[in-house]
Structure 1
């Protein structure tokens, strides 16, 4: 069961849509799904649908709405990549964090929700999932190959709930030096677990992506599944 809801921005500037997928029966813990640079596209909607099949209410907010509502891009052509990077480069992170916080607040009281809320993000969303753990009260968060994470590790002291991170060792957007900085800063954090995936590139867990790796994706997704079952269903 899938639909869209409207969420009011906390700054009074308007409202934005979010894709919502529900499990059979319509109720369960909620997972906020944070988009890549391509908007709320078919890949993000599929992730929501998969989470719904596992018993979660999945909500994917349109975080690019302040630039253009309804961005929905694939990554098949250079023109599409150029569009996606335009939105990425012009994304207002401060307002994005506000919109994520508004989504988390909505998730706490959504019809059928259990009150438990997690977050999962990919690429840009991987960074945003980390910052969601920093800035909101989500019960658990998962970051897949977050871009720019190395510049935010100094904020990790604010993380008080479990965070799972997946890092692609051959990530073309997160080089070895950035990965080393992430590990140095976060390996000792009692709420953070980091897994590295050898021989795979950025976006290895996106089935329709050029860098998809079935074995690494299955392993990362299994770890995410257990993590959410432990912290959102337990």
Structure 2
């Protein structure tokens, strides 16, 4: 399918959230995917991946995950300055604000005439964490989480007892988690902790580890693995077609 792109400003409890919408360029009603980006927000690699997903029959919403902390349309560079600012934002915005963003995106999607009521979440890096977090919302039926950071370390700001992994037993939908074995941000001890907790809470989840570094899906830079990226895209599309259609 060909894909069309739109830009919307979604109102949230913490301000206006610029959201990029990708959808099939044809008549129809399609399930929605909330695609949570890396700390750098709506970069070229994120846009291209969103286009790919939309071309398989989904409405893809890419919010600016740190909209409260930056001017609208801010895109951080894949350099030290961008990394430092993105990490500062990550450790500033509380998870509760991400939760209210998710509610706003679900409401927005369901108000569109071309969206069905079926909603999933996908994300990379901090976005993988936010996709996992989104699955705490009962309106999100499934989450595909790529090298999700900060799950094992509980280092994102939130109210006491509201850490994401601690609450995984509240998730009603299905999870798929993907990690690179050579990812220093989620070392083997961290992956083992996440796996144990998901098992202990009897979550409905699938688990994939590949021989890759962090950000292997990003089609810029020397960590990109085109073969694995294609395989994970195929897994994500198959997953969402099963749980959302």
Normalised to the residue count of structure 2, the TM-score between the two structures is: 0.87
Correspondence list, 1:211-226, <5 A: 211-226=223-238
Are the equivalent residues in 2 in contact too, given 1:203–1:209 (CA < 8 A)? no
Cα distance in 2 for partners of 1:26, 1:74 equals 36
Aligned twin of 2:209 = 196
Structure 1: give runs of 5+ residues left out of the alignment.
none
Cα distance in 2 for partners of 1:182, 1:144 equals 13
Q: How far apart are 1:15 and its partner, in Å? A: 2.1
Task: Determine which of 9, 12, 32 is the counterpart of 1:6.
Answer: 9
Aligned twin of 1:25 = 26
1:74-108 deviations in Å (ceiling 9; x for gaps): 31x32232232222232332212211221122112
Correspondence list, 1:79-228, <5 A: 79-150=81-152, 151=154, 152-187=164-199, 189-197=202-210, 199-228=211-240
1:96-143 deviations in Å (ceiling 9; x for gaps): 221122112211232201221111011011001111111342121111
- The SS at the match of 1:66 is helix
* RMSD (Å), alpha carbons: 1.7
Cα distance in 2 for partners of 1:8, 1:226 equals 31
- The SS at the match of 2:66 is coil
Cα distance in 2 for partners of 1:134, 1:210 equals 34
Structure 2: give runs of 5+ residues left out of the alignment.
155-163
Correspondence list, 1:69-84, <5 A: 69-75=72-78, 77-84=79-86
Q: How far apart are 1:160 and its partner, in Å? A: 0.9
Q: How far apart are 1:26 and its partner, in Å? A: 4.8
Bigger share in helix: 1
- The SS at the match of 2:133 is helix
1:6-58 deviations in Å (ceiling 9; x for gaps): 2111x3x5322100011021541111111110012222222221111111111
Matched, 1:16 2:28: no
Are the equivalent residues in 2 in contact too, given 1:101–1:136 (CA < 8 A)? no
- The SS at the match of 1:63 is coil
Cα distance in 1 for partners of 2:27, 2:8 equals 15
Aligned residue pair count: 229
